[in-house]
Chain A
Amino acid sequence: MLLKNKILCLSGLVMLSAAMGAQAKEVVLRALMEDVPETHIIEQMLPQFEQETGIKVQFEKIGYGDMHDKLVAQLIAPQSYYNLLEVDFLWAGEFPTANWLTDLTPLVKKSKFDTRAFIPSTVSLLNHDPEKLYILPMYNYSMGLIYRTDLLTDKTVAQLYQDATQKTLALPKTLEDYVTLAKFIKQKQGIAGAAMQGQRGDPNSMEFSNYLFAAGGEYLDGKNQVVLNSPAGKQALTLYVDAIKNAAQDGALSATLDDTMRLMCSGKAFSMITYWWMLPQLDNQKACPAVAGKLALAPMPGGHGESGGWGWGIPKNVSPEEKQAAWTFIQWVQSKHVETERALQGHAPVRADVYKDPAVLAKFPYYQTAEQVVATGKSFPIFTYSAQYEDVLGTQLSQVAGGNGSIDAALAESATQLEKLLKK
Chain B
Amino acid sequence: MLRKIALHFGLILACVVVVLPPLWALRTSLVPESLAYSTDIFPGWSWENYQGLITKNDFLTHYGNSLIVSLCSVAVAMPFAAATGYAFARFKTGGPAARFIMLATQMLPAVALVLPAFALLRAMGLTNSLVGLTLVYAALNLPFLTWILMSFFEGIPVDLEWAAMTDGASAWGAFRYIVLPVSLPGLAAAAVLGFILSWNEFLFALVLSGPQTATIPVALAALQTSNGVQIGKVSAGVVLAILPLIIASHFIQRYIVKGLTFGSVK
Binding site for B on A (CB under 8 A): 1, 3-5, 7-8, 10-11, 13-15, 34-37, 60, 62-66, 257-258, 261-262, 265-266, 281, 286-288
* A288 and B34 form a contact (CB under 8 A): yes
* A287 and B122 form a contact (CB under 8 A): no
Binds A, one of B61-69, B112-120, B131-139, B172-180: B112-120
Partner of B111, one of A7, A13, A37, A266: A7
* B203 and A7 form a contact (CB under 8 A): yes
Partner of A4, one of B34, B203, B228: B203
The secondary structure that dominates the A interface is helix
* List of A residues within 8 angstroms of B119 by Cβ: 11, 14-15
Q: Number of B interface residues, CB 8 Å?
A: 22
* A7 and B115 form a contact (CB under 8 A): yes
User: Besides the contacts A4-B114, A11-B122, A35-B222, what 12 more A-B pairs have beta carbons closer than 8 Å?
Assistant: A4-B206, A7-B118, A11-B115, A14-B119, A15-B122, A37-B227, A63-B225, A64-B226, A65-B224, A66-B222, A257-B226, A258-B229
CB-based nearest A residue for B208:
A11
5 pairs of A and B residues whose beta carbons are closest in the complex: A11-B118, A258-B228, A14-B119, A10-B115, A7-B114
* B114 and A11 form a contact (CB under 8 A): yes
* A13 and B228 form a contact (CB under 8 A): no
Tell me whether A13 and B115 are in contact in the complex, defined as CB-CB below 8 angstroms, given that A1-B224, A4-B207 are known contacts: yes
Binding site for A on B (CB under 8 A): 34, 37, 111, 114-116, 118-119, 122, 202-203, 206-207, 211, 221-222, 224-229
Partner of A8, one of B37, B202, B207, B227: B207
* B118 and A15 form a contact (CB under 8 A): yes
Partner of B221, one of A63, A265, A281: A63
Whole-angstrom CA separation of A257 from B228 in the bound complex: 6
Whole-angstrom CA separation of A37 from B227 in the bound complex: 10
Whole-angstrom CA separation of A5 from B207 in the bound complex: 8
* List of A residues within 8 angstroms of B114 by Cβ: 4, 7, 11
* A60 and B228 form a contact (CB under 8 A): no
Taking the closest CB of chain B, its distance from the CB of A275, in whole angstroms, is: 9
Whole-angstrom CA separation of A262 from B114 in the bound complex: 36
Whole-angstrom CA separation of A34 from B226 in the bound complex: 9
CB-based nearest A residue for B210:
A60
Partner of A36, one of B115, B122, B226: B226
* A262 and B226 form a contact (CB under 8 A): no
CB-based nearest B residue for A14:
B119
CB-based nearest B residue for A63:
B222
Whole-angstrom CA separation of A4 from B224 in the bound complex: 14
Whole-angstrom CA separation of A281 from B221 in the bound complex: 23
* B207 and A60 form a contact (CB under 8 A): no
* A36 and B111 form a contact (CB under 8 A): no
Whole-angstrom CA separation of A224 from B114 in the bound complex: 38
* A262 and B228 form a contact (CB under 8 A): yes
Partner of A286, one of B34, B118, B226: B34
CB-based nearest B residue for A62:
B222
10 residue pairs from A and B, CB less than 8 Å apart: A7-B118, A11-B119, A14-B116, A34-B226, A37-B227, A64-B226, A65-B224, A66-B222, A262-B228, A281-B227
Whole-angstrom CA separation of A265 from B34 in the bound complex: 9
CB-based nearest B residue for A5:
B206
CB-based nearest A residue for B227:
A36
* A11 and B207 form a contact (CB under 8 A): yes
* List of B residues within 8 angstroms of A257 by Cβ: 226-228
